[in-house]
Amino acid sequence: MFLTIGYARRAATYKRADLLFTDIGRLKSISSKAGPFQVIYAGKAHPHDQGGKEVIKRIFQAREALKKNIKIAYLETTIWRLEE
**8 Å CB contact between 65 and 31:** no
**Secondary structure class of 62 (helix, strand, coil):** helix
Predicted pLDDT at 1: 74
Predicted pLDDT at 62: 95
Average pLDDT per block of 10 residues along the chain, 84 residues long: 86 92 92 90 92 94 93 79 51
| Chain Cα centroid distance, residue 79 | 16
The strand order across the sheet containing 37-42 reads 3-8, 37-42, 71-75
Predicted pLDDT at 25: 93
Predicted structure pTM score: 0.82
